[in-house]
C-alpha cells in the first residue's frame, strides 16, 4: 500500500502468517518473490525497489522471535492474523491485526 506523508512515499507491507508458515518464513518468501519480480522487470520499478528495501530492513532488524510469539497465540486460537510493516522515523514498526 502506498500513501503520501510529508512528501515521502510511505510503504506498508501486509503479510499473513499461518500454522504452516511463520511470519519470518512469509517475510523471506515475500523478499524472494519481490527480488525475482524486480530482476525480471524490464525497467527499474521504483515501487518494487522500495518494497525490497523495506523487506531487507525488516529481515535485518525485526525481532521475529518476539513477533512470532505475539502472532502465533492468535493463530493457535484459530484466528487469522495480518501483520502490517512500515517505517516510522526510519525505524521498522509493525501492527498485528486479527482479522
* Domain residue limits, the chain: 2-98
pTM, two decimals, is 0.84
Nearest to 21 by CA among 30, 12, 13: 30
Give me the pLDDT at residue 44, please.
Answer: 67
Quick: pLDDT tens for 46-55: 889 999 999 9
Give me the pLDDT at residue 2, please.
Answer: 40
For residues 1 and 67, the answer to whether their CB atoms sit within 8 Å is no
61 CB burial (10 A radius; 0-12, 13-18, 19+): exposed
Quick: pLDDT tens for 63-90: 999 999 999 999 999 999 999 999 988 8
Q: How far apart are CA 32 and CA 89, in angstroms?
A: 26
Q: How far apart are CA 18 and CA 78, in angstroms?
A: 9
Amino acid at each position: 500500500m502506498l500513501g503520501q506523508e510529508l512528501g515521502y512515499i510511505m510503504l506498508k507491507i501486509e503479510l499473513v502468517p499461518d500454522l504452516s508458515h511463520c511470519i519470518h518464513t512469509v517475510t523471506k518468501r515475500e523478499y524472494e518473490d519481490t527480488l525475482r519480480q524486480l530482476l525480471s522487470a524490464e525497467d527499474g520499478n521504483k515501487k518494487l525497489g522500495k518494497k525490497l528495501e523495506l523487506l531487507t530492513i525488516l529481515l535485518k532488524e525485526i525481532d521475529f522471535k518476539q513477533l512470532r510469539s505475539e502472532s502465533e497465540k492468535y493463530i493457535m486460537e484459530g484466528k487469522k492474523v495480518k501483520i502490517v510493516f512500515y517505517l516510522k522515523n526510519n525505524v521498522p514498526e509493525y501492527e498485528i491485526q486479527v482479522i
